[in-house]
Structure 1
Amino acid sequence: MTSSRDRILRTGAALSMTALALAGCSSGQPAGHAAPAAATVTVGSAADPSSWTLPMQAYRPTGEQARTLARAEQKLVGECLKGFGIRWRPAPELPRIGPKNLLDWRYGIHDAGMSAKFGYQVDPAQQARYDKALRAADARPQLSDDAQLVLGGTDVPAELLQKVGPEARRGFYAGRRIPEGGCFGQARRTLGGSPQGASPLVRRLTSDSYPASMEDPLVKAVFARWSACMKAKGFTYPAPMAANDDPRFRPRPEGASREEIDTALADIACRATHHVAEIWHEAETRIQRASIAGNATALAADRRALDASLRKAAEVLARS
């Protein structure tokens, strides 16, 4: 089932790490819904996880560091393409949409003011800015098929490989050999480390801790208390993300329905009453600490590789 949270994360994933960090959305089905058309709920925001951290964040770049790595990669790619006589400008960064950072919506909604207007949906003004920027990016002049091969090497769609000319198919462009992985591959080798700075191990452990946290006994217990709280307000769901994932709560041109808004406000009120996000976050923190202890050597090596990549990126950006 595709949830509103999934749609937001998939859209915002164009920025870089966010989708990886927020993987693991609940797939629970709502057990039913008996809310009146205009339920009365207490409007009060729950805890704001956007100011929190998780232990695995120590092994991945900050937002600013990720942007530094991206700028250095783009500079190296541009220099490589220039050597082939190809003019290229990277697409501008898309505006933010949805969560503020890695933790903001990891445990669900929490801002009653936003939910009173948008329910479980992203701010339509953010969506409109993002869609406009995406259309502008799509309208930019495209590189030729052969030049795209220089850009990405053989890591391009199969149909593109069928369209390139004979020289490019042999691995050359303008008489020069195309580097392995194209100019992007060459840039990433120069910087070292992993794309966007997070190693496969770091990404896996960050992703795995989310579903594991929902199996924690204390989290299951607080979910049960949240569910009872919701039922007392006329809403029947087994767990918080089941309300978030209700298939009736889809983006609509006319905005969120009264029913969606009432559900979201009841959800937040019950989260606040029972400290759902706090208990959930504490459980995931324990799980990540255990993962770090069990992978200490590999994670220390990943952190050293990230630091080396950041130093190299700073050198690339400092030179004229």
Structure 2
Amino acid sequence: MKKKLTVLALCSTALLTACGQKQGTPAAVGDVPQVKSPAGWTQVNREGWPEAVPREGLAKGLTLPIERYLVSYADEITFLEGRGNAEIKCMRALGFHDWRTEKLGDNPPSSGSSSNMERRYGLTIRSEAETTGYRDLSESTGSASELAGQETSQAVIALKGKQNDRAVQALEGKSVPEGGCIGESRRQVPSPDITLAEELSGQSFTASQETSEVKAAMAAWSACMKERGYQVATVWDAANLTDSASSSTSDAERKAALAEIDCKQKTDLVAIWFKAERKIQETLIAKHQDALGKARANTVAGLTAARQVTAATR
């Protein structure tokens, strides 16, 4: 069974929706310096973040062409930080002087890339297989917001710009922007324009599994696993070897995960799969060159706007 790619959820709830230079070298997002948040504004924990390009394992140094049109985890946080600061500034202007937003960066994902390269082709890092097996311990179960108490009825009106589904234009003599402070934050920091790039990423991932070279490498990997006592046709079948009912990783799961890594090394599955998908993506990118270029320009503009909003907070 082919596994449908689970793309790193970079367009989070706070970003809500993504928006709809020629191909070559897109504008460099990193040219705009990062800005630390002053006290009282949106806070960001920047420790322990994953690298955008894997530094270890079988996927070390691998990055797919479509990545230049997506956003990394660091980019996502930049958008959210800008949105948060725009929201705080707006709420303060409406009289909510102690308004805060959620702290960002406390629960980073295991991969810093939109393509989730560390696990795009199944397990690739031996140290993870040895300790956690198939489990991704970066996944957060979530917790109740510490800020829920600040959302009074008046604050919600200011946030959404509505009361009983009717637009509110003023609150206690102060003008409320259209859509409230949430609407204002979205206007100031537009969402990343990555819809097309995400679609192409999913298409290439699915198509790559149908190529003759990947099928052959997967068959060789399956035969290697059989020699070690595991009847699995694909790496996705291997991932089902984990005991989902258990909260801890068993020795049996670690053993299976290590066998997967060893067989991938023996058959060169990850490198073959990556090469096949890269070729597919290059074709897709060439076909959608103009649309991707425009989308990237929109994303870069949004990142720049987010950083400018953060830089202007005082």
TM-score by length of 1: 0.71
**1:171 and 2:185 are equivalent in the alignment:** no
Distance in 1 between residues matched to 2:188 and 2:273, nearest whole Å: 40
Distance in 2 between residues matched to 1:50 and 1:173, nearest whole Å: 54
| Partner of residue 258, structure 1 | 251
Distance 1:237 1:180, change over 3 A: farther
Distance in 2 between residues matched to 1:295 and 1:77, nearest whole Å: 35
| Partner of residue 135, structure 2 | 121
Distance 1:186 1:261, change over 3 A: same
Distance 1:186 1:140, change over 3 A: closer
Higher relative contact order (CA 8 A, sep 6+): 1
User: Which of 89, 94, 111 is residue 84 of structure 1 equivalent to?
Assistant: 94
Question: Bigger CA drift: 307-316 or 101-110?
Answer: 307-316
Aligned residue type for 2:111: P
Distance 1:122 1:59, change over 3 A: closer
How far did residue 72 of structure 1 move? 1.4
Question: Does the CA-based 8 Å contact 1:226-1:274 persist in structure 2?
Answer: yes
User: Which of 96, 100, 111 is residue 108 of structure 2 equivalent to?
Assistant: 96
Q: Percent identity?
A: 27
Deviations 1:106-154 (A, max 9, x none): 111122232222211134xx56xx55xx436357524135533543567
Distance in 1 between residues matched to 2:108 and 2:254, nearest whole Å: 23
Question: Does the CA-based 8 Å contact 2:11-2:76 persist in structure 1?
Answer: no
Matches within 5 A, 1:107-118: 107-118=121-132
User: Which of 173, 182, 202 is residue 197 of structure 2 equivalent to?
Assistant: 202
Distance in 2 between residues matched to 1:15 and 1:284, nearest whole Å: 29
| Partner of residue 181, structure 2 | 183
For structure 1, the residue ranges without an aligned partner over 5 or more in a row are 21-45, 155-164
Distance in 1 between residues matched to 2:278 and 2:158, nearest whole Å: 43
Question: Does the CA-based 8 Å contact 1:61-1:198 persist in structure 2?
Answer: no
For structure 2, the residue ranges without an aligned partner over 5 or more in a row are 19-55
How far did residue 227 of structure 1 move? 0.6
Distance in 1 between residues matched to 2:156 and 2:197, nearest whole Å: 30
Q: Secondary structure at the match of 2:203?
A: helix
Question: Does the CA-based 8 Å contact 2:218-2:233 persist in structure 1?
Answer: yes
Deviations 1:165-201 (A, max 9, x none): 54x6343451566544442332222233xx2x24211
Distance 1:89 1:51, change over 3 A: farther
The structure with the greater share of residues assigned to helix is: 1
How far did residue 245 of structure 1 move? 3.1
**1:312 and 2:305 are equivalent in the alignment:** yes
Distance in 1 between residues matched to 2:128 and 2:14, nearest whole Å: 25
Distance in 2 between residues matched to 1:259 and 1:172, nearest whole Å: 62
**1:148 and 2:156 are equivalent in the alignment:** yes
Distance in 2 between residues matched to 1:210 and 1:89, nearest whole Å: 40
Matches within 5 A, 1:29-68: 47-49=57-59, 51-68=61-78
Distance 1:173 1:16, change over 3 A: closer
Distance in 2 between residues matched to 1:209 and 1:56, nearest whole Å: 10
Aligned residue type for 1:169: R
User: Which of 280, 286, 291 is residue 279 of structure 2 equivalent to?
Assistant: 286
Distance in 2 between residues matched to 1:265 and 1:97, nearest whole Å: 22
Deviations 1:267-292 (A, max 9, x none): 11111111111111111111111111
| Partner of residue 241, structure 1 | 236
Question: Does the CA-based 8 Å contact 1:47-1:275 persist in structure 2?
Answer: no
Question: Does the CA-based 8 Å contact 2:220-2:267 persist in structure 1?
Answer: yes
Distance in 1 between residues matched to 2:272 and 2:110, nearest whole Å: 23
Distance in 2 between residues matched to 1:184 and 1:191, nearest whole Å: 11
Measured on the aligned residues, the alpha-carbon RMSD in Å equals 3.3
Aligned length: 267
Matches within 5 A, 1:294-305: 294-305=287-298
How far did residue 202 of structure 1 move? 1.6
